[in-house]
Structure 1
Amino acid sequence: MSTERYESPDAATVERVVRESLRDGAMVSVMAECEVEYDGRSGGYLAPGERLVVCKPDGTLLVHRPSGHKPVNWMPGGATIKVEFDEDEAEGDDEADSGEATAPLLYARRSNPNEYLRVYLHDIYQLSRFDADDPVEYQERGTEAEMHEYIERNPEETLGDGVRVVEHERETKYGFIDFFARDTDGTPIVVEVKRRQATLNNFDQLKRYVDLYRESNPEVRGMLVAPSTSDRVKRALRDDGLEFVRLAEFDVEKREATEKTLSDFL
C-alpha cells in the first residue's frame, strides 16, 4: 500500500496522476469545487459545489456530496476515464494565454450504453493516489442463508417447542419450501423464510405451499419467518390459520438505525 498527495495541484499534475494511477491499478480521489454534466440514457446537470470525486481503475467514477452515503453522480465500472481540458473556461485566463491549460475536467465514457460523465474541476484543493491491495472476499453477515442455518440448528428455539426439521428446501410444483418440519403431534409444518420484512407477496407464497399440502391434510401448519412484518400481513396470516415467527436478531433495518455514525463521536 502506498499513497501520494498533492495540495492544490495544477492541471498538468492532475492529468498525469489520473492517467498513471488508473494505468497502474490505483485509485484517485479529488477534493474540489466542481460541476457535473451527464448525457446518456437521460440528461443531467449538477451546479458547482464542493465535492469528493473518486476514480477507480475498473472505470468507476463517483461524485460524493458532503452528506449521504450514495454518490450524487456516478459512472459504473467499465467506463474509460481520462482528463481533458475545458478550453472555454481557460479562455481569457492569464495562464491560458501563456500556453498552460488551467481547467481540467474528468471525462468518463461508456459505449454500451452510450453515456458520458464530465466533471469540471474549477478549484482543486487536494489530489490523492492510493495504491491499495484488497484481495479478500466480502463476507456478508445476516444473509438468508445464515437464517436458514440458524433455524436448522435451533428449530425449537425459533419455530417452537418440539418442532423438528424434516427437510431443508423441499421441492414442490410451486417452487422450493425453505423448511418442511413437524411438531410434537407429528403435524406437518411448512416454513417460509424471508431475509427482510415479510410482505403480502410472501404471505401469498406461503399460502400456496400450505394449500398444496392441505389438499391431503387439512391440519398442516404454515409459518412465515422474518425479522419483522406489518400488522396487515399478521392479520392476513391469522385469518388463514397461518403463523408469523419473528427473528429479531436478524432485523438489519433496526440494527442499522441504531448503529452509531461518525458524527456520534465528534
Structure 2
Amino acid sequence: MDLDAYPLPDTETIAEVVETGLQKGDVITIFANCDVEYEGRASGYLGVGERLIIAKPDGTLLVHRPTGNDPANWQPPGSSIFASVDDDGCTITARRSDPIERVNVHLRGTYHIVRYPAEDSVPLELSGTETEMHEYILDNPDEVEQGLRVLEHERETPYGTIDIFATDSEGLPVVIEVKRRQATLSHVDQLKRYMDQYRESNPNARGILVAPDASDRVRRTLRDNDLEFGQLEEFAVGRGDVTSTTFDDFL
C-alpha cells in the first residue's frame, strides 16, 4: 500500500485515540503496517507487515494477519494496555505481571483507527455440549476408531476420572479424554500427565484426545508423546468459534 496516497493520522493522534478509548472502555481497532516484539516466557519478533490490531476494554490485545482465524500475537484479558510516542512512531504495549510478559506493537504506518463503545452480553449458544459428545461416543465408538469397545464412562481411578475407558480391536486398554473445544497444547499436557501415571501399571495403554479439531502442532506433539488424536468434526461450531488458544500454542 502506498502510504503517501492517504491522509494518515499522526502518531500523537493515534496515541490519544488509544489512551482515551481505553479510559472510556471502548473497543479499538487499528489497521496498520507494524512489527511486533514479545518478551516473557520466551522471546519473539514478527517483522513488518500489514495487520489488524484489536484492543479490548478487558485488557485483551490481538494482532491478526490478513488471513487465518488465530492471532499472530496476543495478550489475554487483564493486561495493561497503553500507547507511547517516540522518534520511531507510536507503540502500543500490552503487559501483565503473572507471568511477566509484554507485547510491543510498533506502528510504522496507520491506515485506519476507530474506537467504539461496543456492548455485547449475549451468551454463545453451542450446538453441542461436552456431555453430548460423551453420549455420542458411547453410542458410536466406531466414529473414534473402528473396533473400539466402550467399557466404562467416567471411570474413577487413583489418578483421576477417565472420561471414557475402552478397549481397541486387539484388546488393548484405551483412555479417551474428550474436549468440546479445539484441542490445544494444554490439553495434550493434561492427557500426557495422566497417561504417564496410568502407564506405570498399564504400559500398553493407549491415550486418545478427542476434539472437534486440532492444529498440526498439537497433532505432532501428541504423536511425539505416543498419544493419538480422534477428530469429531460434527461438533465444530464454525472454525474458531469455540477455540481457546494459549500462548504455548505459538511457541
Q: Could you tell me the TM-score, scaled by structure 1's length?
A: 0.53
By how many angstroms is 1:128 displaced? Answer: 1.2
Counterpart of 2:98 (choices 109, 112, 115) is 112
2:38–2:104 contact (8 Å) kept in structure 1: yes
SS at match of 1:38: strand
Structure 2 runs not aligned, ≥5 long = 1-6, 144-149, 166-172, 184-190, 203-207, 214-229, 240-251
CA distance in 2, matches of 1:62, 1:177: 35
Question: Is the aligned partner of 1:67 residue 2:38?
Answer: no
Q: Deviations over 1:8-63 (max 9, x none)?
A: 32223222221222222221110011122222222222222111111111212111
Partner of 2:133: 147
Q: Which amino acid aligns with 2:84?
A: E
SS at match of 1:69: coil
1:84–1:106 contact (8 Å) kept in structure 2: yes
Partner of 2:81: 81
Counterpart of 2:110 (choices 120, 124, 132) is 124
Q: Which amino acid aligns with 1:21?
A: G
Q: Deviations over 1:156-177 (max 9, x none)?
A: xx9xxxxxx9x96464666556
2:30–2:53 contact (8 Å) kept in structure 1: yes
Question: Is the aligned partner of 1:35 residue 2:35?
Answer: yes
1:59–1:77 contact (8 Å) kept in structure 2: yes
SS at match of 1:147: helix
Partner of 1:16: 16
Q: Which amino acid aligns with 1:8?
A: L
Alignment of structure 1 residues 39-54 onto 2, 5 Å:
39-54=39-54
1:107–1:118 contact (8 Å) kept in structure 2: yes
Partner of 1:242: none
Q: Which amino acid aligns with 1:132?
A: A
Q: Which amino acid aligns with 1:56?
A: K
1:142–1:250 contact (8 Å) kept in structure 2: no
Q: Which amino acid aligns with 2:62?
A: L
CA distance in 2, matches of 1:146, 1:127: 43
Partner of 2:4: none
CA distance in 2, matches of 1:169, 1:74: 35
CA distance in 1, matches of 2:163, 2:36: 47
CA distance in 2, matches of 1:178, 1:112: 31
Q: Deviations over 1:207-261 (max 9, x none)?
A: x99xxxxxxxxxxxxxx9x789xxxxxxxxxxxxxxxxxx9976457x96xxxxx
- Sort the Cα spacing of 1:251 and 1:21 in 2 relative to 1 into closer, same or farther, 3 A: same
CA distance in 2, matches of 1:72, 1:85: 23
Partner of 2:121: 135
2:33–2:48 contact (8 Å) kept in structure 1: yes
Identical counterparts, % of pairs: 43
- Sort the Cα spacing of 1:195 and 1:143 in 2 relative to 1 into closer, same or farther, 3 A: farther
Report the RMSD for the aligned CA atoms in angstroms: 5.1
CA distance in 2, matches of 1:107, 1:248: 38
| Greater fraction helix | 1
CA distance in 1, matches of 2:66, 2:46: 14
Structure 1 runs not aligned, ≥5 long = 1-6, 90-102, 159-164, 181-189, 210-223, 229-246, 257-266
Partner of 1:99: none
- Sort the Cα spacing of 1:168 and 1:50 in 2 relative to 1 into closer, same or farther, 3 A: closer
By how many angstroms is 1:178 displaced? Answer: 5.5
- Sort the Cα spacing of 1:60 and 1:248 in 2 relative to 1 into closer, same or farther, 3 A: closer
